[in-house]
Amino acid sequence: MGEWGVAPPRVTRAAIWLIRAIIPAIIAVLFVCGDAKAQQSKSIAAVVNDEVISIFDLNERLSLVMASSDSKNDPEVRKRLAPQVLRGLIDEKLKLQEAKRINVSTEQEEIEAALRTMEKRNDLPRGGLDDFLRNAGVNKAAMISQIETEISWSKVIGYMFGSTIQITDEEIDEKLAEVKEMAGRPELQVAEILLPVNSPEDEDETQLLANRLSKQLKSGVGFQALARSFSQSSSAASGGELGWIKQGRLGAMLDAALSKLNPGESTEPIRALEGYYILLLHGRRAPQARKIKKKRTVESTTSVNLQQIFIPLPKNPAAEDVAGQMELATTMSQMATDCAEMDALGKELGSKKSGNLGNVRVSKLPQNIREVVSGLPVGKASRPFQFRQGLVVIMVCAREGGAIPPESPSEGPQKEKTAQNGRQDKVPDSEERLNIKAMLMGQRMQAAARRLLRDLRQ
């Protein structure tokens, strides 16, 4: 029985060592002449619990990695990447098998939404991804297989661990104190690759993989493609991108490595507690000051046209319910690039409260929504926030009269409750507290996912 009280399907270490031993023969088949596709579809790269990964599957995924990284499709590069890509395919097979075991599936609409998100991240028009893959000679099925695995695995982790992870108010308070302490620090735009070491037996293999990936990055292979294919962090789905973070947030060891980089450079592999990190520094900037101004009389004359996505919550929701729906709301917020897209996402969700709210006077909005709308640029989706019996994402489609600065914390009535320990809490939780809670939940889920994958590999 595994750590989770169930007997997971197994891939023995003997089988994995056998795969390593025959890698040279696998690579040789990759570059054979003649009827290559026919031969590759019949040739076996690995068998995972009686399910086959063919040489053709491996070759298609290699093509996808090369195209995604905008790298020259060089046989030597493919040869060096083949062992890592094969290991990734083995992990994907294990994840899909676990999803099937607990009856988790992925809907076509979810895959289509993920493809649209990829197009937007890469500044491609709708349908542009198909043209890109076609021109690169890549089978779209290889990308869909990877996306299906990511979505299914996310559902598996939510199903198995969502109800067991609890985030306390004390943990949120501690994290908020850290955020405030870092408020004046410079900010770094960073991407990551995380290769966890799940047991002492994995140390040498993981270090070898980290060194190979570092070498590939220095030869010009794109960071996002390698992160998406090999990283075991939750950021892998977005190419390892962490966005702008405060200096020091990643800890002293990683922060010291980043301090030595110029924008555009990546670190050597760094052995941290959970495994090996490779970090890419995109840029640095001075801390972004949060301006708090007095309300202006213009508020009474400013109007906005609002579009919203409303995700309902059950009555008296448990923490895992809020966290799961917050993850969905965050994904939708990231996907929406204009009000038309917001409308489409709301219709896909099927929520009756989603849609266009029409033209609204800012002064007439509830205070928490007014604070969100005040500094929100036209055409940018807000972060999700809790409102009444659901989670809301809002976008300003049009504004007349200019932006309204948020109300000072000292102004206006504040609903508060006094906890038994004397701490003053807002009711309901502020957007900031909800974001911290979702972040902590995500970190715990990510750690649980690594442990489960470790069990499935053994």
Chain segment 251-309, per-residue pLDDT in tens: 889 999 999 999 999 999 999 988 999 999 999 988 765 544 444 444 456 788 889 99
Q: Are 209 and 267 contained in the same domain?
A: yes
The better pLDDT of the pair 3, 401 is held by: 401
Q: Does pLDDT of 339 surpass 80?
A: yes
Distance separating alpha carbons of residues 184 and 289, to the nearest angstrom = 8
Count of domains for the chain = 3
The better pLDDT of the pair 377, 16 is held by: 377
Secondary structure E strands in 9-77: 44-48, 51-54
Distance separating alpha carbons of residues 189 and 35, to the nearest angstrom = 46
Residues in the chain: 458
Q: Are 305 and 428 contained in the same domain?
A: yes
User: Does some domain include residue 190?
Assistant: yes
User: Does some domain include residue 314?
Assistant: yes
The residues, any chain, with a CB within 8 Å of residue 114's CB and separated by 6 or more, are 147, 150, 151
Q: Are 132 and 194 contained in the same domain?
A: no
* pLDDT, averaged across the chain: 78
Q: For the domain that residue 22 is a member of, what is the CATH number?
A: 1.10.4030.10
Q: Does pLDDT of 98 surpass 60?
A: yes
Q: Are 277 and 160 in contact, with CB atoms under 8 Å apart?
A: no
Residue range 161-175: mean pLDDT, rounded: 86
Of 285, 314, 337, the last residue of a domain is: 285
Expressed in angstroms, the distance from the first to the final Cα of the chain is 12
Residue 414's pLDDT band, with cuts at 50, 70 and 90, is very low
pLDDT value of residue 268: 95
Helical (H) or strand (E) element with 186: none
User: Does some domain include residue 178?
Assistant: no
- Phi/psi at 138 (nearest 5 deg)? -105, 135
Residue 441's pLDDT band, with cuts at 50, 70 and 90, is confident
Own/partner contacts of 118-122, CB < 8 Å, gap of 24 or more, are 120/335, 120/337, 121/238, 121/239
Q: Are 138 and 105 contained in the same domain?
A: yes
- Tell which residue, 210, 280, 287, 274, has the closest CA to residue 246: 287
pLDDT > 70: percent of the chain: 79
pLDDT value of residue 97: 94
User: Does some domain include residue 447?
Assistant: no
Instruction: Provide the domain limits for residue 189.
Output: 184-285
Residue at 53: amino acid letter: I
Q: Are 152 and 69 contained in the same domain?
A: yes
Residue range 178-189: mean pLDDT, rounded: 85
pLDDT value of residue 411: 38
Q: Are 314 and 189 contained in the same domain?
A: no
Residue 340's pLDDT band, with cuts at 50, 70 and 90, is confident
Q: Are 200 and 275 contained in the same domain?
A: yes
Q: For the domain that residue 239 is a member of, what is the CATH number?
A: 3.10.50.40
User: Does some domain include residue 172?
Assistant: no
pLDDT value of residue 42: 62
Cα angle vertex 378, ends 406, 308, to 5°?
Answer: 85
Of the given ranges (2-16, 98-112, 222-236, 288-302), which has the lowest mean pLDDT? 2-16
> CA–CA distance from 224 to each of 67, 130, 160, 190, 424 (Å)?
11, 19, 29, 12, 43
Q: Summarize pLDDT for 108-148 with one digit per residue, the tens.
A: 888 888 888 888 877 888 888 899 888 888 889 999 998 89
User: Does some domain include residue 94?
Assistant: yes
Q: Are 278 and 343 contained in the same domain?
A: no
Helix (H, G, I), strand (E, B) or coil at 128: helix
Q: Does pLDDT of 430 surpass 80?
A: no
User: Does some domain include residue 450?
Assistant: no
Q: Are 38 and 145 contained in the same domain?
A: yes
Q: Does pLDDT of 100 surpass 70?
A: yes
pLDDT value of residue 437: 82
Q: Tokens at residue 117, please?
A: 């998100």
Q: Tokens at residue 89, please?
A: 């395919």
Q: Summarize pLDDT for 78-94 with one digit per residue, the tens.
A: 887 888 888 889 999 99
Of 240, 261, 285, the last residue of a domain is: 285
Q: Are 381 and 322 contained in the same domain?
A: yes
Q: Are 307 and 421 contained in the same domain?
A: yes
Q: Does pLDDT of 332 surpass 60?
A: yes
Omega cis (within 30) before 428: yes
Of the given ranges (128-132, 325-329, 399-403), which has the lowest mean pLDDT? 399-403
- Phi/psi at 240 (nearest 5 deg)? 85, 5
pLDDT value of residue 401: 66
pLDDT value of residue 282: 93
Residue range 177-205: mean pLDDT, rounded: 86
pLDDT > 90: percent of the chain: 14
Q: Are 311 and 411 contained in the same domain?
A: yes
User: Does some domain include residue 438?
Assistant: no
